[in-house]
Structure 1
Amino acid sequence: MRTQEQYPIDVEAIREDFPILDRQVGGDIETPGEGPDDTRPLVYLDNAATSQTPKPVVESIVDYYYGYNSNVHRGIHHLSQEASVAYEEAHDRVAEFIGANGREEIVFTKNTTESLNLVAYAWGLAELGPGDTVVLTEMEHHASLVTWQQIAKKTGASVEYIRVDGDGRLDMDHAAELIDDSTAMVSAVHVSNTLGTVVPVGDLADLAHEHGAYIFVDGAQSVPTRPVDVEAIDADFFAFSGHKMLGPTGIGVLYGKEHILEEMQPYLYGGEMIRSVTYEDSTWEDLPWKFEAGTPVIAQGIALHAAIDYLDEIGMERVQAHEELLAEYAYDRLSEFDDVEIYGPPGDERGGLVAFNLDGVHAHDLSSILNDHGVAIRAGDHCTQPLHDKLGIAASTRASFYVYNEKSEIDALVDAVDDARQLFA
């Protein structure tokens, strides 16, 4: 029996919706449940990569496939109409959740990466050229950094990077220097997936707009963990993924201001996104469908709706409070070791993750030892290789938390790290 703790949310009740958290791990992977007695309870601390999926979300997928599985916008029959309504309502629900004006501003993609590529190709190839600058931060995920880097090469534009200081905070004075009249796009992560830094994207939006530039916000780590209002931020584009917020894999969201999306041309063509076709030319469907070519992510979109309902029932303010409580607790516990280096701002100034290294132990080796203790974490460069190069490290170990995690699981992480310290002493 776990010790009851005072949390902003009812963790015990939430955990009942996640059967996977009752798993024992270790032993014989080939024949789970038949291995030796050295299995351990699963401690899942890899939520920044992918969160687990609660029963109501899984049930929404089953209901679709068992009850009204059909393509959308293509059939007069009852199943198609029912699926179309559910799919369109999912767009409405996402718009409401992030403060958008309506479904016209919500495009479903496969993930945040595809959302970034959509804007880079549909807007960037048409609008960028020699003399234009795209301004990123040094803590960008590869989905942003690599995409804009390659688009710049194709268009002759240049890419510049806002510095991150020694405490993992964004240097806003440097941002004000870089963002000028040559800037066409500012693309910034909202919450760093490595440092946990919460970037003042609203201030960056103000700087961008003062110089006639657009801003793209990567919200992959923010939308799952805190209230987000895209209008309050004044983001021109904003993207996130369902699989990091209790939803299924294969569903991402691109928010774009309606007037910008109207001006953009699609970069994927085919069925679903057209209004009329002749042998000579074609015209496009209304927003958001002109950007959703082919059979869309129907089941995933419906399940994302269910995931948002689940999070809203908890309350995003309480989700954020829980994340911050666990992040600060993990930061403080790991700080007890003088041979553990933690990256990013202090524990009370970060999102719900902590990246660290144990002196003399490669992150992959540490991850393997933690796995032997049943603790699932991430090890590597977390798709921020240039940031790791700046930090002077090849890789780091990252623990990330969500609504079903408890302090006792962080204690298990710390105990496992201590065992590794003894092993390598």
Structure 2
Amino acid sequence: MTTTTLLRFATAGSVDDGKSTLVGRLLHDSKSVLADQLEAVAHASRNRGQEAPDLALLTDGLRAEREQGITIDVAYRYFATPRRRFILADTPGHVQYTRNMVTGASTAQLAIVLVDARNGVVEQTRRHAAVAALLRVPHLVLAVNKMDLAGYTENTFAAIADEFTAYAASLGVPQVTAIPISALAGDNVVTPSSHMDWYGGPTVLEHLETVPVVTDPTAEDARFPVQYVIRPQTPAHPDYRGYAGQIASGVLTVGDEVTVLPSGRTSTISAIDALGTGVDTAFAPQSVTLRLADDLDVSRGDLIAPTATAPVPTQDVQATVCHVADKPLRVGDRVLLKHTTRTVKAIVKDIPSRLTLDDLSHHPHPGELTANDIGRITLRTAEPLALDSYHHSRRTGAFLLIDPTDGTTLTAGMAGDAQAAFSVAAAVADDEGWDF
């Protein structure tokens, strides 16, 4: 039996650049569309006066979106090829839905930014590239779409690829894979294009199937958020006490000296149970039960980490956030902060700056953050939190702010100096005269 890997990826780009059509073409040409789905799309297309099925409707599933001809919500689709399984998020192109793009890209391992070959790199292209860099999406793909409307010319593609790659480099993105495509005609999406023999790189699907996504778990420090304490109290196991959860990162081994946070008490891993069987070693993202040599007070929300690399708990949190709620976030607001399996009370002490993604400038002390704003905030929590820097770990460096009155998600946060790349980018832009 062959085990396939999983790739989570997101599409982004300006309005009408063809994101939904690209996703529809991927699904259709990879034979991941059921017959009844294709018939529903064909029926909806005929109702709109179109003779051929509009493949964009495979992702624009909401009736309101179809009627407006735009993508508003994040449309998730699941498909597979013999080489890999995929979870894709087709995100909106409008500037007022930046928060939706953040949602779709927050767990992505790869982001595809589409550009209309006739328009080149525009403001929204730069904005989406900046968000992908801010969220530390590991792989960035530039898909220069509608090459059929630009005469399939190599010079057009090369000029756009060079401009985008230079901008991405200023954001701290080391490498961009650029692919010329026509999502409507299918050129270089699943099958190579006969119209662009000057291009020798992979198709979109080929790149998605082959891009490396499996990371070495030993390269990251181990983190184990406790989800549940197991105490069966049966005659067979009268003294059993296990701590169940999913390993967020790294590797844990029987005999490791660990620290339970935020209490700071130390112990040794005496046993690891995986699917009811004892194992010597476990690694992310396995779900396991840890047993410790000492009888410590451990509960849901605690974090178990190797003593040598354990984060220092703090009640003062500095973070970059994207505000996703319609209700503004203001200095003095009382919120709930959810980090891994732990939720604590917190207060917004300061909002030092708001980031403008158009030119990467910082507006000092805006007083509040409104929907789609990205900015820096300072929080004071009621209890210590074992936060990592988001630069260090996308999993244990991320958190949510929640409205304590109704449970609404207010803000997605990234702890630490996550915006450092943008400070560098802004300096590069000033020095080199970039026209943002």
TM-score clears 0.5: no
Higher strand share: 2
Q: Which structure is richer in relative contact order (CA contacts within 8 A, separation 6 or more)?
A: 1
Higher helix share: 1
Shorter chain as denominator, the TM-score bin is: under 0.3
